[in-house]
């Protein structure tokens, strides 16, 4: 079937358009929607769905497709949208503004232009950080928050240099997709990362610029965001890998400052929980979302899901 294009809700500061993307069987999997804010083009995967809205944010050097497995499952009950954040994936590659505030404003533009209303924000790593800042500054737009391997952290003066060294270690270009999968971790993790690459002249390249990635961490290097964490007022879920990148002392402080936060650790996983165990993450998110309804008791339902995850 030929992909079709249609207009979504727009604002004075931007427009949104969409093109259907289909599976090999011809079934619509998700619709690519483009949101424009202050001249920066942002690409979204809109999975549709019948219920309240869930917006998914990937981490540094990632892409919206990392969320495909949980997004597809959640779309049975929720309107699910995954965003390629500025500088990543199909979004504009070299935006001038890489501030944390710009990332938050992008999320708000997606909510407004796609008419999503109050949403559940879920983010992994730096995407979780963006989700947290959005929930803190704009509580009227966020009904619940899920952080996957993310927290307020900082200041971390070495984080940008560490990210730069990691990106410099990539043997670019990859000669094949299979070589990229192997280098990027193999298995589901490697497949997830490799899905964010693009093929040019029979070689495989990232869909981001190294300098943009490093510059995106500038504020995290200079300061912490504990004040913003304490400002979050909505129900919150924290999902960690068993071998988490988040230091144990930071997790303790997270929970001490907001003791109502629900938390779970997924056995056998590291930083890429959403790629390593997407089905477990979907189960945890589903149980958490069941409890977001003010009429529901979230803790008992989530406790059962957390036991199942173990």
pLDDT digits (tens, 9 = 90+) for 157-177: 999 999 999 999 999 999 999
| Residue 168 to residue 272: CA distance in whole angstroms | 20
Helix (H) / strand (E) element for 74: namely helix 68-74
pTM: 0.90
Average pLDDT, rounded, for the chain = 90
pLDDT digits (tens, 9 = 90+) for 9-49: 333 245 567 666 644 344 558 999 999 999 999 999 999 99
Closest alpha carbon to 291 in 120, 71, 81: 120
Residue 294: exposure state from Cβ atoms within 10 A (0-12, 13-18, ≥19): exposed
Measured from the Cβ of residue 79, the count of other Cβ atoms closer than 10 Å reads: 21
| Residue 182 to residue 189: CA distance in whole angstroms | 9
């Amino acid at each position: 079937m030929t992909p079709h294009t249609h207009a979504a809700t727009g604002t004075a500061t931007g427009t949104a358009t969409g093109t259907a993307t289909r599976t090999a069987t011809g079934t619509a999997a998700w619709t690519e929607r483009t949101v424009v804010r202050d001249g920066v083009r942002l690409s979204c995967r809109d999975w549709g769905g019948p219920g309240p809205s869930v917006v998914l944010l990937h981490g540094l050097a990632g892409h919206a497709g990392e969320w495909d497995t949980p997004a597809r499952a959640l779309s049975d009950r929720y309107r699910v949208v995954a965003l390629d954040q500025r500088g990543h994936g199909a979004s504009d590659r070299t935006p001038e503004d890489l501030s944390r505030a710009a990332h938050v404003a992008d999320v708000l533009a997606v909510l407004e232009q796609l008419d999503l209303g109050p949403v559940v924000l879920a983010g992994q790593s730096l995407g979780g950080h963006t989700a947290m800042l959005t929930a803190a500054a704009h509580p009227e737009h966020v009904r619940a928050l899920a952080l996957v391997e993310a927290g307020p952290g900082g200041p971390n003066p070495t984080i940008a240099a560490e990210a730069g060294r990691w990106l410099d270690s990539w043997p670019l270009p990859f000669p094949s997709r299979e070589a990229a999968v192997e280098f990027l971790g193999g298995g589901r993790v490697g497949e997830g990362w490799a899905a964010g690459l693009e093929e040019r002249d029979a070689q495989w390249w990232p869909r981001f610029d190294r300098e943009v990635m490093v510059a995106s961490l500038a504020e995290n290097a200079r300061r912490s965001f504990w004040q913003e964490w304490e400002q979050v007022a909505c129900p919150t879920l924290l999902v960690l890998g068993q071998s988490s990148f988040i230091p144990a002392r930071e997790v303790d402080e997270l929970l001490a400052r907001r003791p109502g936060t629900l938390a779970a650790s997924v056995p056998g996983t590291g930083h890429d929980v959403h790629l390593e165990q997407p089905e477990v993450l979907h189960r945890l998110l589903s149980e958490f979302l069941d409890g977001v309804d003010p009429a529901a008791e979230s803790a008992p339902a989530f406790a059962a899901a957390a036991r199942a995850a173990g």
